[in-house]
A and B are shown apart, each in its own frame.
Chain A
Amino acid sequence: MVHQYKNNGYNIVLDVNSGAIHIVDDLVYDVIPLFETCTREEIISRLGQNYPEDEIIEGYEEVKTLVEQQQLFTEDEYENYMEQFKERPTVVKALCLHIAHDCNLACRYCFAQEGEYHGRKALMSYEAGKAALDFLIAESGNRRNLEVDFFGGEPLLNFEVVKKLVAYGREQEKLHNKNFRFTLTTNGVLLNDEIMEFANREMANVVLSIDGRKEVNDRMRPFRKGAGSYDLIVPKFQKFAESRNQEKYYVRGTFTHNNLDFSEDVLHLADLGFQQISVEPVVAKPTESYALQEEDLPKLFEEYDKLAVEMIKRWKENRGFHFFHFMIDLEGGPCVAKRLSGCGSGTEYLAVTPWGDLYPCHQFVGNEEFLMGNVTEGIKSKELQKEFKHCNVYAKEKCRNCFAKFYCSGGCAANSWNFHGSITDSYDIGCELQKKRIECAIMIKAALAEETEGTC
């Protein structure tokens, strides 16, 4: 499968099965769609009006060389691998610990219903958290790197337990030859010097929630009484990011139908000095006023294009920043096994409620249909586990002919469930945005490669 597109003056050709990416001129861009179905002579005849014959032959030969080098029109060798893949032994390697089902903000788009996940307010006890870490160690097989995200609600509402659990994890990792990578997702309201110092010592990554411009952030991320959170959190986040040497963190925002010009929010965060930025599309019921609609897509595509061009400009001026969804590792990216299995929800990644129940991921928490077990008794619903284990890009009809399938790995199971009642479907607006982001990410690589041409 080959995907070709034009963006920002670049003709880009992606060979989906190998992952090879080529930047081509107009001639080769026109030869490629004809290559598999036409003879050389037919191609010369069809393109003869636009290009000289000797050039067409030259371009044709270069395409042929790419095919011979297995960098174009490569076969899908993975589907046969699927049967073996589906029977892989699974281990648990990552937990999303819902350390607090409560929040000090009342974000309007919160999938956790202001932290309570359609249930009751609760804080995780140290005992329940300890049992979760013990469960993770016991279920992790020979995986050494174990990830634990302190999530909520707002995890800093239960910071004392976070501290104790980190101490327990550090003690246990030595005994079991494991390496805990703790992360923290916070709205910043309770952030202080002590917490920053602790996080800088113990947290492999921190995710700091902020939506961008003051009016955008405050509209969707108010306190319970209605006041905005921007003025309180920005100085703290700036200090925190600096104290982490501008790495191993993300400021993370959500854009909605209310701020379709979201590139301005990303750039606002960059102008505040943040260098690690993630701003994502909201996922909401179509009936919500802030939900993204299909008719928003052209504007959103335009915004991603605009952002990509501005990012290139800033990199060239040595004031670049990273945008999570434009990051793409072309040479050292994930292996096929990872790309087929996706996020690992329900198998290697699980969410734990404050009272120790297990769900496939944080987005399923509160939906009793997806209750998988608990941290003391382990996974009880083997059927559910199997269903998630078998969920991969080949199990999804919509993904089969999609060029993005090895980048998004079939997309988010929770989004698929929320929109179609099945984890093997996909959230269509999300897919369109994902494809656009991949196109932009590759274009940025092309532009930056060109920028340094001849200098290395």
Chain B
Amino acid sequence: MPEESNGVGRSPDGLPEEPNGVGRSPDGFCHETEEQKGRISMKHVKTLNTKRLQNTVKRGGCGECQTSCQSACKTSCTVGNQSCENK
């Protein structure tokens, strides 16, 4: 099946991608191309990410990432927006 480009390869601020083709916006988020993600073209579905959390079990946790309350929250727990330091 042909690869589809639904265009998450560019940072939200429109900055060009890094030379290796992986775009990174100022917030540090990663924006891989469709090809890199191995996405399947579908008529009714667009997949935003193909990450499988299960795969990260095998790697265990290196623990080098930021503690969530040290970033900005201090009164809530916001873990999902932390970035992995060991991508």
Chain A interface residues toward B at CB < 8 A: 17-25, 27-28, 58-59, 62-63, 65-66, 69-71, 74, 77-78, 81, 91, 93-94, 96, 111, 143-145, 147, 149, 181, 183, 185, 205, 207, 247, 250, 252, 254, 278, 280-283, 315, 318, 320, 322, 324-325, 327-339, 341-345, 348-349, 361-363, 406-413, 415, 430, 434, 438, 441-442, 445-446, 448-456
Contacts and interface: CB of A to CB of B under 8 A. Distances in A.
Nearest to B60: A337
Contact of B44 (A24, A94, A149, A453): A24
Contacts of B61: 335-338, 341
A361 B7 contact: no
Given A333-B83, A449-B8, A450-B6, A18 B44 contact: no
Given A207-B74, A281-B75, A337-B61, 7 more contacts: A329-B83, A333-B83, A333-B84, A335-B62, A449-B7, A451-B7, A453-B7
B48 A449 contact: yes
Contacts of B59: 335
Given A147-B67, A334-B65, A449 B6 contact: yes
A329 B75 contact: no
B76 A430 contact: yes
Interface of B: 5-10, 12-14, 17, 23, 26-33, 40, 42-54, 56-57, 59-87
B26 A247 contact: yes
A318 B8 CA distance: 16
B85 A22 contact: no
B63 A91 contact: yes
A22 B46 contact: yes
Contacts of A446: 48
Contact of A434 (B31, B68, B76): B76
Contact of B30 (A331, A410, A454): A331
B82 A338 contact: yes
B49 A145 contact: no
A100 to B, nearest CB: 16
A335 B56 contact: yes
A455 B54 contact: no
Contacts of A451: 7
A149 B66 CA distance: 12
A332 B55 CA distance: 12
Given A94-B67, A94-B70, A339 B9 contact: no
Given A81-B57, A281-B76, A450-B7, A23 B45 contact: yes
B40 A329 contact: no
Contact of B69 (A28, A71, A345): A345
Contacts of A332: 28-30, 83-84, 87
A108 to B, nearest CB: 15
Contacts of B50: 20, 71
Closest 8 CB pairs of A and B: A337-B61, A407-B80, A456-B9, A335-B56, A453-B7, A94-B67, A452-B7, A330-B49
Contact of A412 (B29, B40, B77): B77
A426 to B, nearest CB: 10
B76 A456 contact: no
B33 A339 contact: no
Contact of A143 (B43, B64, B76): B64
Contacts of A278: 72-73
B69 A343 contact: yes
Nearest to A284: B75
22 contacts: A18-B51, A19-B53, A20-B52, A21-B48, A22-B47, A58-B44, A66-B45, A71-B50, A77-B57, A328-B80, A330-B48, A330-B49, A332-B30, A335-B59, A337-B57, A338-B84, A339-B80, A348-B67, A411-B77, A445-B8, A445-B48, A448-B12
Contact of B48 (A93, A283, A442): A442
B54 to A, nearest CB: 5
A78 B63 contact: no
Contacts of B87: 332
A18 B7 contact: no
A361 B85 CA distance: 23
B75 A280 contact: yes
A108 B6 CA distance: 48
A409 B64 contact: no
